[in-house]
């Protein structure tokens, strides 16, 4: 496979990540970068990476096949439109933009220019997601009725443009997009019909510094997505429960523990006795009715993202993160903001 020549627009945190990453890529040559800050251009040169003097100069370079946009979120759209006009394919960092209308404009422009256009949903290669998706598809839990996906930190939110709503700050657009994209990738066998969302404003008034999103799918499957940045004790990363069993990943990097029931009506109930009462209903099960196992997180190579991208440019593969999926994710985030603002549920009809 011939390598493609890529450039990065925006040489901040994620731009730097892409640059380091592409140095080890077997499918991409990193040709250069551009950033509006002179200090970042100097940093790139110091890192041995060519820095263009302007976005126009970069886009005019005929050797460049595609750009990866890693700027603040509100710049993704104008830069992408400019790139399509120059005939360049575009990967945008997530969130791709701030509204579904803007996204449609970007998709239309890409299609009109005959350019490929996708989003860097790198967390589709995270082991936590992959193992939970496998468990869901295995059917081992019986019909699944609830899934929870949660990330908890305690450092508030980054103090730069990520605190500015006009620039697309806040946790729905930052971490929410990953967890929403993962959830829709797990529950891709049915439609999402309704959402209910509440945002936190604990350390920040202007943007959400966390949120809780309830998702209601067809077939009585519910999901809970939560991001917190004021949680000094973190709760369960991933949880899934069905008629016949449950699965949990307590924290980053942990294997998935699966417990399933092989003798539902087992009568050996040892009641839970507390200070003030007993309960048989909530009595834990014993080994006479349940079994358990641990599933390690599967190996995954996030370089497959750029490998697919290069093949997609060549028309050899469908791009992994499709326009349809990008739009689904965006509409869910829009519905989440609307639900939070109005304190009302929002009806949707969305499926990967």
- Give, as ranges, the residues between 1 and 60 that touch a second copy (CB under 8 A): 17
Q: Please name the residue that has the structure tokens 């731009």.
A: 15
- Give, as ranges, the residues between 173 and 212 that touch a second copy (CB under 8 A): 174-175, 194, 196, 198, 200-203, 212
The residue within the footprint of a second copy, chosen from 5, 345, 351, 352 (CB under 8 A), is: 345
Q: Please name the residue that has the structure tokens 């099960």.
A: 285
Say if CB 239 and CB 251 are below 8 A apart.
Answer: no
- Give, as ranges, the residues between 241 and 280 that touch a second copy (CB under 8 A): 241-248, 252-253, 257, 259-261, 269, 272, 274-280
The residues pairing with 90 across neighbouring beta strands, listed in sequence order, are: 67, 117
The residue within the footprint of a second copy, chosen from 128, 208, 329, 340 (CB under 8 A), is: 128
Please state whether beta strands 66-69 and 4-9 pair in parallel, antiparallel, or not at all (unpaired): parallel
What is the smallest separation between the CB atom of 307 and a second copy, expressed in angstroms?
14
Task: Give the residue with the Cβ less far from a second copy, 5 or 21.
Answer: 21
Whole-Å CA distances, 197 to 208, 286, 331, 335: 11, 37, 13, 8
The residue within the footprint of a second copy, chosen from 40, 124, 133, 307 (CB under 8 A), is: 124
CA distance 211 to 198: 6
CB contact set of 82 (below 8 Å; sequence gap of 6+) = 55, 59
- In the chain, % helix, strand, coil (3-state, to 5) comes to 35, 25, 40
Task: Give the residue with the Cβ less far from a second copy, 125 or 161.
Answer: 125
Shortest CA distance to 6 belongs to which of 24, 32, 37? 32
Task: Give the residue with the Cβ less far from a second copy, 10 or 127.
Answer: 127
Shortest CA distance to 129 belongs to which of 177, 174, 186? 186
What is the smallest separation between the CB atom of 286 and a second copy, expressed in angstroms?
11
Shortest CA distance to 21 belongs to which of 47, 40, 52? 47
Residue 78 within binding range of a second copy, rule CB under 8 A: no
Query: What is the DSSP annotation of 32-83?
Result: EEE-SSHHHHHHHHHTT--B-S-HHHHHH-TT--EEEE-S-GGGHHHHHHHH
Task: Give the residue with the Cβ less far from a second copy, 63 or 274.
Answer: 274
Task: Give the residue with the Cβ less far from a second copy, 81 or 249.
Answer: 249
What is the smallest separation between the CB atom of 136 and a second copy, expressed in angstroms?
15
The residue within the footprint of a second copy, chosen from 72, 107, 123, 320 (CB under 8 A), is: 123
- Give, as ranges, the residues between 289 and 318 that touch a second copy (CB under 8 A): 290, 297, 300, 302
Residue 281 within binding range of a second copy, rule CB under 8 A: yes
Task: Give the residue with the Cβ less far from a second copy, 2 or 205.
Answer: 205
- Residue-level length of the chain: 352
Task: Give the residue with the Cβ less far from a second copy, 87 or 296.
Answer: 296
The residue within the footprint of a second copy, chosen from 216, 322, 338, 352 (CB under 8 A), is: 216
């Amino acid at each position: 496979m011939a390598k493609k020549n890529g450039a990065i627009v925006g040489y901040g945190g994620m731009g730097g990540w892409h640059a380091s990453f592409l140095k080890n890529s077997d499918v991409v040559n990193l040709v250069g970068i551009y950033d509006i800050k002179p200090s970042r251009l100097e940093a790139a040169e110091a890192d041995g990476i060519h820095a263009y003097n302007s976005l126009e100069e970069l886009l005019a370079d005929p050797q460049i096949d595609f750009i990866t946009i890693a700027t603040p979120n509100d710049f993704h759209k104008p830069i992408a439109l400019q790139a399509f006009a120059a005939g360049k394919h575009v990967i945008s960092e997530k969130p791709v933009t701030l509204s579904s209308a803007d996204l449609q404009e970007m998709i239309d422009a890409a299609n009109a220019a005959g350019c490929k256009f996708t989003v860097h949903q790198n967390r589709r290669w995270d082991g936590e997601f992959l193992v939970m998706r496998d468990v869901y598809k295995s059917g081992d839990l019986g019909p699944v009725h609830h899934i929870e996906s949660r990330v908890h930190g305690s450092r508030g939110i980054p103090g730069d443009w990520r605190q500015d709503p006009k620039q697309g700050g806040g946790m729905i657009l930052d971490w929410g997009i990953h967890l929403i994209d993962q959830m829709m990738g797990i529950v891709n066998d049915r439609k999402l019909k309704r959402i209910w969302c509440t945002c936190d404003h604990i350390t920040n008034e202007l943007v959400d510094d966390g949120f809780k999103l309830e998702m209601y799918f067809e077939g009585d499957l519910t999901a809970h997505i939560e991001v917190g940045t004021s949680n000094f004790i973190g709760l369960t990363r991933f949880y899934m429960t069905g008629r016949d069993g449950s699965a949990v990943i307590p924290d980053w990097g942990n294997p998935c523990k699966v417990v399933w029931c092989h003798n539902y009506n087992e009568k050996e109930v040892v009641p839970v006795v507390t200070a003030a009462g007993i309960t048989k209903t909530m009595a834990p099960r014993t080994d006479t009715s349940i079994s358990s196992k641990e599933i390690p997180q599967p190996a995954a190579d996030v370089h497959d993202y750029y490998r697919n991208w290069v093949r997609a440019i060549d028309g050899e593969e469908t791009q992994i993160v499709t326009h349809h999926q990008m739009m689904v994710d965006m509409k869910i985030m829009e519905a989440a903001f609307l639900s939070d603002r109005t304190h009302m549920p929002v009806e949707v009809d969305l499926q990967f």
